[in-house]
Amino acid sequence: MSSTAQTVGERIVRNVSQVIIGKKREIMLTVIGLLCEGHLLIEDVPGVGKTMLAKALARSIGCSFSRIQFTPDMLPSDITGVSIFNQRTQEFEFRSGPLMAQIVLADEINRTTPKTQSALLEAMEEYQVTADGTTYELARPFMVMATQNPIEYEGTFPLPEAQLDRFLLRIHLGYPEPNEELAILDAQQYQHPVESIEQVVSVDQLLRAQEEVRSVYLDNQVKRYIVDLVTATRHHDAVYLGASPRGSLSLYRACQARAVLAGRDHVLPDDVKDMAESTLAHRIIVGRTARITDMTVNAENIIADILRRTPVPGATLGMR
């Protein structure tokens, strides 16, 4: 089955792949997040292309882009905007902040204080910003792509669980392979390829694709499989805090988008298994006892263990 959403997704993936070389799965996950109207958390070391990924995505869909470099002294009004008194008109005028763009790169989000981090919550959940008692609607599509360095902890403020739960997916770009890094050197000899890529889909096409994704069919047993996986995170021996119902909904939406990119109008259990780690791992907290007992235990290993233990619905499920 070929659909508008599949065509839109494939065009964006191909276009962004000209800039981010050798990371097709990570690009696909980013496009899945976009099609689901979700937000993305990118955990990785500096210099692997996080900013270029966000820029290339914005250029591919013709959306406004802004980058916020978070620092410890940043205030909420620095990102949402502030009202300034105009001497000529004798009235206060709202000057919008960088959060009012459509694709927002929140760079090193864990460098700023929880008070400023929380300014993102309303925008990420309700697609609006409130400043000085006035609410401003955000233009659609709207996507926050937040980055944080998993290595440096000094001078950082770890994201609270409530904020982590707002991110549909968490991805890791990682270092390129040697042959891919050679291709990067060649591609950037004269200018960065992000400067030359063009818009490949319109905003209207993207909005229609987002609507189409929501109509993808899930069999009741596939839905039950999603719920069983999420429930298992709450009862696993190594977990202190499991995934919330928002985690179930995020996995549900992500599977719909993955099915569309695969050319299907229905979700299979394989979609659920493939998307489970990216949608659930950042929502669970590993118990202290488990970390002390086994230093190698982490959220990704726990999700893999849950996938092994949870019975998978039959192969015919998802078909109408």
**CA–CA separation, 111 and 69 (whole Å):** 9
Query: Is residue 39 scored above 50 in pLDDT?
Result: yes
Tokens of 149: 């360095």
Backbone angles phi, psi at 202, to 5 degrees: -90, 165
Q: Look at the block and give the residue holding tokens 């982490």.
A: 298
Q: Report whether 219 contacts 318 (CB < 8 A).
A: yes
Which of the pair, 297 or 18, is modelled with greater confidence?
18
Q: Please tell me the distance from the alpha carbon of residue 56 to that of residue 52, in angstroms, as a whole number.
A: 6
CA distance 296 to 289: 12
Instruction: Supply the pLDDT for residue 47.
Output: 83
Which domains does the chain carry?
A: 4-209 (3.40.50.300), 216-309 (1.10.8.80)
Q: Which amino acid is at 10?
A: E
pLDDT, average across residues 52-79: 93
Task: Decide if pLDDT at 154 tops 80.
Answer: no
C-alpha 84/C-alpha 293 separation (Å) is 56
- The answer to whether 188 and 273 are in contact (CB under 8 A) is no
The separation between CA 205 and the C-alpha centre of its own chain, rounded to angstroms, equals 20
Q: Which of 268, 166, 163, 179 is nearest to 221 (CA)?
A: 268
- Asked if pLDDT for residue 1 goes beyond 60, the answer is no
Q: What is the mean pLDDT of residues 70-92?
A: 87
CB atoms within 10 A of CB 21: 19
82 vs 234, higher pLDDT? 234
Alpha-carbon distance of 58 to 203, in angstroms, equals 10
Q: Is the pLDDT of residue 130 over 80?
A: yes
| pLDDT one-digit tens code per residue, 182-196 | 998 998 888 888 888
For residue 141, cis peptide bond before it (omega within 30 degrees of 0): yes
Distance CA 143, CA 140 (A): 9
DSSP assigned state of 175: P
pLDDT score at 2: 57
- Asked whether residue 248 carries a pLDDT value surpassing 90, the answer given is yes
- Quick one: pLDDT band at residue 157, thresholds 50, 70, 90? confident
Whether the CB-CB separation of 81 and 123 falls below 8 Å is answered with: no
The percentage of residues in the chain with a pLDDT greater than 90, rounded to a whole number, is 62
Q: Directed axis angle between helix 203-213 and helix 24-35, to 10°? A: 80
Residues with Cβ within 8 Å of 186's Cβ and at least 6 positions away in sequence, in order, are none
Residue 296, number of CB atoms within 10 A of its CB: 6
Mean pLDDT of 267-294: 91
Which structure tokens are listed for 120?
């993102």
Q: What is the pLDDT of residues 216-245, one digit of tens each?
A: 999 999 999 999 999 999 999 999 989 999
pLDDT of residue 5: 92
Give the angle 50-9-182 at the CA atoms, nearest 5°: 45
Phi-psi region at 184: left, alpha or beta (left = phi > 0; alpha = psi -120 to 50):
alpha
